[in-house]
Chains A and B, each alone.
Chain A
């Protein structure tokens, strides 16, 4: 059977309180690209990667899509299956999903339409020392 798509966790709900790496608290809808970059910079374990959307296909489960990303400098090809409303943070743009209307309806989180070519914020573990 196909793997279940990643369900949408509660912290994408508008108004959710997010703690940045320096301790600052922000609402999820107020996060900026710089917040992710600066948080990763002071993290010993996490590194920001740029992940470019290469393809978006219909998923095997209802309301799911398979998104193919090209990740980091090595352009590693990674596919994830998520629900259409799952938001990704696009550099310089903010929250974006394959079905922004549904994201807004379910989570009251304003979203742009995620498109091929968009560059999303993703994380990599730094090597553990």
Chain B
């Protein structure tokens, strides 16, 4: 059974932030 990481379900909508 494949296991998917939680972050694969969430879109990246913002550019990388420098904080």
Question: A residues within 8 Å of B by Cβ?
Answer: 9-12, 16-21, 25, 28, 31, 35-36, 39, 43, 46-47, 49, 51, 69, 71-72, 74, 76, 78, 80, 88-89, 120-127
Contacts and interface: CB of A to CB of B under 8 A. Distances in A.
A36 B8 CA distance: 11
Contacts of A88: 11
Q: Dominant SS at the B interface?
A: loop
Contacts, number: 83
Q: Dominant SS at the A interface?
A: strand
Given A17-B4, A25-B3, A11 B13 contact: no
B1 A89 contact: no
B14 A18 contact: no
B10 A121 contact: yes
Contact of B10 (A25, A122, A126): A122
A72 B3 CA distance: 29
Contacts of B1: 17
A21 B6 contact: yes
Size category of the binding interface on chain B? 10 to 19
A19 B17 contact: no
10 contacts: A11-B2, A11-B4, A11-B9, A12-B9, A71-B14, A122-B12, A122-B14, A123-B11, A124-B13, A127-B17
A11 B3 CA distance: 9
Contacts of A120: 11
